[in-house]
């Protein structure tokens, strides 16, 4: 279990056989990594200036998310992600404004302001299960989705992603065990970013790796350089092919490094040794993939700079558009529950609105009480 799949090294030089991808796909991968980093930066600025309450930094782990997303077929496959997978959304061209709608919890937010920021839920352009905060809950859900697809005779797989800390949860054990027994077409992608908040890997597990944990469940495990987008894509492509062929699940451990905090409420400099951060910065995925694409003649410095500039402008525009929208009104707490609202909920809604009205709470331009 010591071998780690790698195709591009930290300098952007090839160390293995690259997958046969056209230039358009390679640029799509690069653009998704760039957009993820630009979104991440914009969210950090918004949180630090008090405009949003929370975000989850993705800096350093983008290649794992993008490489995995590129291997799936969004017309039929399912994503059951965790909260550090922005790159999967950007690879599939989810509009930044829709993501910022969730960050602000505004009228157009798909969760109508009733979820934490970064807890995205989308049905288009991909089948994206709503992110939840409790660790590991998405893992058995992905197994159930993949088994349901299998029973219906659909040629679909489900990808579930999670951090190294989530391998200590009951959801990981239950999902892996069930998938192994049932030969579920599920792909388990562990984003080993070295730190479960402030808990380092050597305090998280006594196993020699996370990939090796699959053996206990009858699930093959693979280790891959998670900062190498092409290596992640290659490992994922092989796992997807096996799952579609009825050969069951795969556990992939993508070894990467979270360069920011666990969230915007966390300061990693308090627990991550400075030399580890310095080494991780030298190995980060965006610089690596950019160098590779320039070496291969897919991009030039000028075209790569243009993509980065466009991404920054795109995120600024998306954030401004989302910020300008109104907040969901009080009544949506009740009206979004049922297609035909029961009488008791109507009574509760009327009482709630009357209560706020009697307190002379501020109303919006439509005379509604914002949440």
- Cβ of 130: how many Cβ atoms within 10 Å? 15
- Tell me the pLDDT of the chain averaged across its residues: 94
Is 35 a residue of the active site?
no
Q: Where does the pLDDT of residue 363 fall: very low under 50, low under 70, confident under 90, or very high at 90 and above? A: low
According to the model, what pLDDT value does residue 114 have?
86
Is 271 a residue of the active site?
yes
> Which single residue is written with the structure tokens 């054990």?
173
- Structural domains of the chain, with CATH: 23-323 (3.40.50.970), 329-371 (no CATH)
Q: Where does the pLDDT of residue 344 fall: very low under 50, low under 70, confident under 90, or very high at 90 and above? A: very high
pLDDT (average), residues 278-285: 95
**Residue 360 scores a pLDDT above 70:** no
User: What pLDDT digit, counting tens, does each position of 179-234 carry?
Assistant: 999 999 999 999 999 999 999 999 999 999 999 999 999 999 999 999 999 999 99
pLDDT (average), residues 21-47: 98
| Residue 370 vs residue 89, higher pLDDT | 89
User: What pLDDT digit, counting tens, does each position of 314-324 carry?
Assistant: 999 999 999 99
> What burial class does residue 371 get, using C-beta atoms within 10 Å of its C-beta: 0-12 exposed, 13-18 middle, 19+ buried?
middle
**Residue 358 scores a pLDDT above 80:** no
Helix axis angle for 62-69 and 285-295, nearest 10°, is: 60
**Residue 366 scores a pLDDT above 60:** no
Give the distance, in angstroms, between the CA of residue 326 and the centroid of all CA atoms in the same chain.
Answer: 26
According to the model, what pLDDT value does residue 1 have?
56
Map residue 86 onto helix, strand or coil: helix
**Residue 242 scores a pLDDT above 60:** yes
Contact 296, 21 (CB under 8 A): no
Among residues 48, 271, 320, 356, which one is catalytic? 271
According to the model, what pLDDT value does residue 364 have?
58
Is 202 a residue of the active site?
no
**Residue 274 scores a pLDDT above 90:** yes
Among residues 262, 288, 290, 327, which one is catalytic? 262
**Can the peptide bond before residue 125 be classed as cis, meaning omega within 30 degrees of 0?**
yes
Among residues 258, 288, 290, 327, which one is catalytic? 258
């Amino acid at each position: 279990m010591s071998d780690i799949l790698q195709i591009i090294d930290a300098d952007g030089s090839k160390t293995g056989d690259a997958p046969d991808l056209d230039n358009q796909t390679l640029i799509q991968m690069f653009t998704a990594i760039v957009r993820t980093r630009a979104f991440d930066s914009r969210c950090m600025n918004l949180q630090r200036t008090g405009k949003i309450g929370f975000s989850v930094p993705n800096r350093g782990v983008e290649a794992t998310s993008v490489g995995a997303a590129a291997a799936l077929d969004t017309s039929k496959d399912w994503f059951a992600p965790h909260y550090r997978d922005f790159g999967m959304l950007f690879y599939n061209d989810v509009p930044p404004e829709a993501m910022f709608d969730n960050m602000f919890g505004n009228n157009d937010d798909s969760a109508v302001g009733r979820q934490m920021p970064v807890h995205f839920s989308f049905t288009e352009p991909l089948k994206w299960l709503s992110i939840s905060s409790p660790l590991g809950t998405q893992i058995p859900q992905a197994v159930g989705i993949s088994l349901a697809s299998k029973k219906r005779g659909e040629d679909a797989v489900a990808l579930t992603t999670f951090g190294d800390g989530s391998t200590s949860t009951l959801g990981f054990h239950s999902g892996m065990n069930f998938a192994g027994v049932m030969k579920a077409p599920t792909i388990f992608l562990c984003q080993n970013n070295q730190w479960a908040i402030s808990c380092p890997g050597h305090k998280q597990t006594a196993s020699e790796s996370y990939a090796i944990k699959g053996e206990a469940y009858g699930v093959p495990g693979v280790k891959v350089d998670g900062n190498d987008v092409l290596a992640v894509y290659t490992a994922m492509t092989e796992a997807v092919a096996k799952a579609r062929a009825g050969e069951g699940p795969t556990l992939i451990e993508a070894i990467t490094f979270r360069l920011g905090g666990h969230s915007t409420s966390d300061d990693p400099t308090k627990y991550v040794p400075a030399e580890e951060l310095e080494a991780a910065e030298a190995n980060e995925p965006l610089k690596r993939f950019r160098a590779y694409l320039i070496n291969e003649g897919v991009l030039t410095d000028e075209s790569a700079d243009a993509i980065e500039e466009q991404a920054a402008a795109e995120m600024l525009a998306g954030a401004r558009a989302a910020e300008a929208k109104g907040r969901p009104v009080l009544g949506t707490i009740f009206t979004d529950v049922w297609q035909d609202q029961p009488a008791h909920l109507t009574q509760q809604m009327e009482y709630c609105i009357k209560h706020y009205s009697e307190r002379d709470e501020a109303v919006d331009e439509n005379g509604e009480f914002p949440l």
